[in-house]
Structure 1
């Protein structure tokens, strides 16, 4: 061992089996942080274990079911009516209802939408009133003759009421009561772009109101395909996990 000159080496000689500590002594704060971190890690592990147990035991599904039940007190989700088609933008909102199958006037105050149907009646059981709301002469008669060839029972043929004149921009508007929903679906398949409206009549007659966009009826093959597509039940969407 080297010692400074002039000093006795024995006074600075290291003896024994242990060496002096060369680094700073450990701080107490570090130990406290390590203990706190360990406790937090254990708490997170315990929380994760509880959630895994809940998933496998079905407690989460039970809680979701209770939430859905509280959202719908009756126990069943609210069901909305399914209209056959949206009302035409130019169709009026009110008018007088026809008194019978052979008479027709402007649609009455609209009630609930026409219900969806999965079956259509035979054409001969449907009485249709063909009304022309355009300024093109002869449309109502020609359309009525074609519908008669297809088996429909034709009622009134003529001009539409003044409340509908030149106010149907689409191809046609089919107006019927709740009992005429099937007939409206059958007639709606005969013309492309037709819409339906519900009024307060109690019979099964249907008003075929020709609009400005009308040109002709679909050919029978295309009409049959359109009817089959319209009668298909709407698919029920699969519930999203966690939703009511």
Structure 2
């Protein structure tokens, strides 16, 4: 070309294509996302094969401290009802209550001793279901077996008491003995206690 727009010299400007920075940014973001997904999947596989950290395994435990069952208490040697002599005493104003209750205990295998009114110390003074009274040696044996027949009764021991017989003193709140099926389940639980969950040491 000539005239006003004539080009002189032996070098010409080069026309470069604009760099495609948008594609590079998109490629970098996609690569980071792929690496992130791959890393997350790897961690999941590690958790599965090592058994660590799942919600199911963490349920019911303290932070980082799984619960373990404490050793099962040894079975208790409880006396059979026929080896327990029970004195049934009425501390209420309802007549015939002691006799009726004694007959039911006899059907359940207990040996019945005295049947009658409660001594003055307890007569008309027991507001609850009843009082189970026996020697200290009967605390976790005979009294426990008898308590299974009457829920809610108060247990007492007398260090000066002689013999092995125990008293069932019926109070104003007494209506009837526990159902035999319920009493049998209570006795079974006493004889073979189930282990209870316990936290690991250091948790």
Q: C-alpha distance in 1, partners of 2:177/2:88?
A: 13
What is the count of residue pairs matched by the alignment? 126
RMSD value, Cα: 2.2
Deviation at 1:143, TM superposition (A): 0.5
Higher normalized strand content (fraction of residues): 2
Shift of 1:236: 8.5
Uncovered stretches (5+) of structure 1, i.e. residues with no partner: 1-116
Structure 1 contact 118–233 (Cα < 8 Å) conserved = no
Q: Which residue of 1 aligns with 2:202?
A: 241
Alignment of 1:1-244 (within 5 A): 118-181=76-139, 182-200=141-159, 201-231=161-191, 232=193, 235=196, 238=199, 241=202
Q: Quick one: structure 1 residues 238 and 166, their matched pair in 2 at CA, closer, same or farther if it must change by over 3 Å?
A: farther
Q: Which runs of 5 or more residues in structure 2 are unaligned? A: 1-74
TM-score by length of 1: 0.47
Find the aligned partners of 2:176 and 2:186 in 1 and give their Cα distance: 15
1:45-68 CA distances to partner (integer Å, 9 max, x unpaired)? xxxxxxxxxxxxxxxxxxxxxxxx
Which contiguous aligned blocks of 4+ residues in structure 1 show a shift greater than 3 angstroms?
233-242
Q: CA deviation at 1:169?
A: 1.7
Mapped to 2, the partners of 1:205 and 1:179 lie a distance apart of: 11
TM-score scaled by structure 2?
0.56
Helix, strand or coil at the partner of 1:229: helix
